[in-house]
Amino acid sequence: MTERSGGFGKIVLWVVIGVVGIIVAGQILGWIIGALWNILVATLIIAAIAGVSLLVIGAVRRSVGSGGDRRQLPR
């Protein structure tokens, strides 16, 4: 009888360790996914700012330089 209760105690111990391990692994995965999401959002914001600034610079160059003093490449 004592052997069975000892075996049952080991099973309970392993179940508790497994549940705690699953919870901790879920937390770690959540942190990793959150960090990757933040990196993705920051990258998209930087790319959007760079794209808009390139468009603005191109528009300013076209409006300031009317093309009269630009050199033409030989054809």
pLDDT tens, per residue, the chain with 75 residues: 445 556 888 899 999 999 999 999 999 999 999 999 999 999 999 999 999 999 999 888 888 866 555 566 776
The first and second tokens of residue 9, run together, are 């105690």
Q: Please tell me the number of Cα atoms within 13 Å of 70 on its side-chain side.
A: 10
The span from the CA of 75 to the CA of 64, in Å, is 25
For the chain, state the CA radius of gyration. Answer: 32
Dihedral, 54, 59, 63, 67 alpha carbons, nearest 10: 70
The span from the CA of 26 to the CA of 32, in Å, is 10
